[in-house]
Copies of this chain bind each other. A is one copy, B any other.
Amino acid sequence: MGRATEHLAEHLGQGGGGLLNATFGNAAELIIALFALSKGLTGVVKASITGSIIGNILLVLGLSFVSGGVKFSKQQFNRTAASISATALTLAAIALIIPTIFHQAAAHVPVAQGGWTPAREQALSLAIAVVLFLTYALMLIFTLVTHRQLFGGLESQSLAREAGAELTRMEAEAGPHAPWSIRKALGVLLVATAFVALVSEFLVGAIERARETLGLTEVFVGVIVVAIVGNAAEHSSAILMAVRNKMDISIGIAAGSSLQIALFVAPLLLFASYFFGSPMNLEFTVPEVVAVVAAIIIVEQISGDGESNWVEGIQLLSVYAILAILFYFLPDAHPAAHELERITEAATSHP
């Protein structure tokens, strides 16, 4: 799939290729999520969004820092690129907090006076999704058009391309290959997509059976297990790059992937949910919001100095472990929402 995208990119030029990369880079997650959306499982979709974000920036980056750090006592990376990703992630975190804040603030106001209703939460979420989507589009223009020369080697999109080039070079060492035609690239892309969809369906079934056997909650599986399985490709590439001391690519993969999930995949899923007849809002549970915010804050600190070592990797993994512990103990229901409904009920039954 990745290779088909790359070949297609050669035909579409760099701009279109970057967009394609952005669209299909997280294809597996997107397909699994669309599959869950079609069944109305919006809670599962949100859990997998949360899981992808924290999985990429804590687990993938943590393992990369440790793998690279075992070989190199100190590894350096470009602070500017890391900082642009970090800011965009903060923007995403703020966007994901707002619907929850709205619910909590408007929950006890009578509906006639503007109190919380599912329709208003939906409208708020839609408006925020549009803002995120536009911001992402403008960030692509920045990276691919206005600041292509300036930031050429630094940006996540370029890094993805560089990563692709690096992987291609490794491939090339194994044997020669010719550029594909548009038709071939598109065909492979479609077949691969269908294949991922099939595998996803199988995978979801297998995970569900394992879940019941092990007595795990759906939340834990959605946030932790699915994210680890779904990001397997990011894991292996990022760690490989870290071991080769190419930290910029490693960070580009981990942070870029989180970024796309938050600013592109999440709004896209919200728009798509309208086609399935069960509109999804962007209200995450409090533990999900806390997990994303905590992950983003620690990653900003660690990436702020442009250097990594194995203990910073351990610190990222440690935060991931603490969040995994939280989701392991957390019961399945979305209690934040229920709690508020019950409180409203209890409160409104008294004058």
- Digitize A315-336: 1 where CB-to-B-CB distance is under 8 Å, 0 elsewhere: 1001101110110111111011
A interface, size bucket: 35 or more
A319 & B94 in contact (Cβ 8 Å cutoff): yes
- Digitize A94-111: 1 where CB-to-B-CB distance is under 8 Å, 0 elsewhere: 110110011011111100
Q: Is A142 an interface residue (CB 8 A)?
A: yes
Q: Is A174 an interface residue (CB 8 A)?
A: no
Q: Which B residues are in CB contact (< 8 Å) with A123?
A: 329
Q: Is A273 an interface residue (CB 8 A)?
A: no
Interface of A (DSSP majority class): helix
B350 & A346 in contact (Cβ 8 Å cutoff): yes
Q: Which B residues are in CB contact (< 8 Å) with A322?
A: 94-95, 98, 128, 131
CB distance from A107 to the nearest CB of B (A): 7
Q: Which B residues are in CB contact (< 8 Å) with A343?
A: 339, 343, 346-347
Q: Which B residues are in CB contact (< 8 Å) with A297?
A: 90, 94
25 contacts between A and B (CB under 8 A): A86-B301, A87-B298, A90-B297, A91-B298, A91-B315, A94-B322, A95-B322, A98-B290, A101-B286, A102-B329, A102-B330, A108-B339, A113-B331, A114-B217, A124-B326, A124-B329, A128-B325, A135-B315, A138-B314, A139-B314, A142-B314, A147-B311, A304-B304, A346-B347, A349-B350
